[in-house]
Amino acid sequence: MKSWITFLLPNDEYKEKRMLYFLSEGAIILMLTLIGMIIMNNYLKLDAETYLLLSIAVFLFYVSVRYTMSGIEYTDVSTERSYRKELKHIFIRTGSFVSIYILVYLIFTGVPSHKNEWIDIIGLLVCVGLVWFITSYISLKRSYKKNKELL
Amino acid sequence: MVSKMKLARIEKGLTQEQLARRVNATRQTIGLIEKGEYNPSLNLCIAIAKELSKTLDDLFWEVEL
């Protein structure tokens, strides 16, 4: 079956099917959220940008959480050795992202002159790095558990 | 109950990973099919049957005794 969304989907048919479910569920939740927002708009006045950002966040959050919890990301991790190897990769990936981000930030915006600017950038990076690491770790753990049961 | 597909795979001397690679699937998908937790498409069933040198009946048809 051909669709413009095909390029976003994995080649494996089980993973593809699960992803389509997550995206469809996300779309229905997004529609319900939007209906809720139309009703709420009568009582709570927020600007359009907030509503739009909230809608995007709801969709992305739902799809990401479902994907992370499903244990379908690391399909080949089924032994203690491959688990440790993948965990190491996650550490390296997160570390590389944080280092590259700070480097690019320093190149394009220059070295922060105030202590508060340093706190802002480091705080943001620590939060993004932590969220990335924790979601990858949970996904790996769930995948490992699922794969072990299928051996 | 050990699935017919798992027995055929072991008989052929293949690991889940090797079979998965040959039929363009993941090891997890092969494991799920063997456990009866996922119903594969006809295309994947045919690819698996060809790789294991079996017919679809041999692998997936359930005979009541």
The mean pLDDT of chain A is 92
Q: Which of B9, B27, B28, B42 has the most A C-beta neighbours within 10 Å, making it the best mutation to test the interface with A?
A: B28
| B3 contact partners, CB below 8 Å, separation of at least 6 | B33, B34, B35, B36
By percentage, how much of chain B surpasses pLDDT 90? 80
A142/B contact by beta carbon, under 8 A? no
Within an 8 Å CB–CB cutoff, is residue A136 touching chain B?
A: no
Task: Give the integer Cα–Cα distance in Å for A67 and A18.
Answer: 8
Specify the pLDDT at position A46. Answer: 84
- Answer yes or no: do A117 and A103 share one domain: yes
Predicted confidence at residue B64, as pLDDT, reads 67
Tell me what pLDDT residue A44 has.
84
Listed range (A107-116, B11-20, B50-59) with the worst mean pLDDT: A107-116
Cβ <8 Å between B16 and A15: no
Whether residue A73 is predicted with pLDDT greater than 80 in this model: the reply is: yes
Instruction: Please report which confidence band the pLDDT of residue A128 belongs to, taking 50, 70 and 90 as the band edges.
Output: very high
Count the residues in chain B. 65
- Same-domain pairing of A114 and A132: yes
Total structural domains in chain B?
A: 1
pLDDT of residue A111: 83
Position B2 scores a pLDDT of 65
Residue B23 sits in a domain of what CATH number? 1.10.260.40
Average pLDDT over residues A40-45: 87
Report the number of distinct structural domains present in chain A.
Answer: 2
Degrees to nearest 5, angle at CA B5 with B58 and A15: 125
Task: Give the structural domain span for A115.
Answer: 76-151
> Which chain A residue shows the shortest CA-CA distance from B30?
A150
Same domain, A113 and A137: yes
| Same domain for A53 and A98 | no
DSSP state, residue A100: H
Is the CB of A14 less than 8 angstroms away from the CB of B28?
A: yes
Nearest to A136 by CA among A93, A96, A97: A93
In a domain, B25, yes or no: yes
Contact with chain B for residue A113, Cβ under 8 A? no
| Cβ-defined contacts of A61-66 (< 8 Å, 24+) | A62/A22, A62/A25, A62/A26, A62/A29, A62/A30, A63/A22, A63/A23, A63/A25, A63/A26, A64/A135, A66/A22, A66/A25, A66/A26
A94 and A59 co-located in one domain: no
Choice among A32-36, A67-71, A116-120, B29-33 with the minimum mean pLDDT? A116-120
Same domain? For A17 and A52 the reply is yes
Q: Kindly indicate the confidence band of residue A55, based on its pLDDT and cuts at 50, 70 and 90.
A: very high
The pLDDT, as a whole number, for residue A96 is 93
**Domain co-membership, A48 together with A100:** no
pLDDT at A33 over 60: yes
Does residue A85 sit in the same domain as residue A150?
A: yes
Q: Which structure tokens are listed for A68?
A: 């992370």
Residues A51 and A8 in one domain: yes
> For position A120, what pLDDT does the model report?
87
Whether B65 maps to a domain, the answer reads no
Range of the domain at B34: 4-60
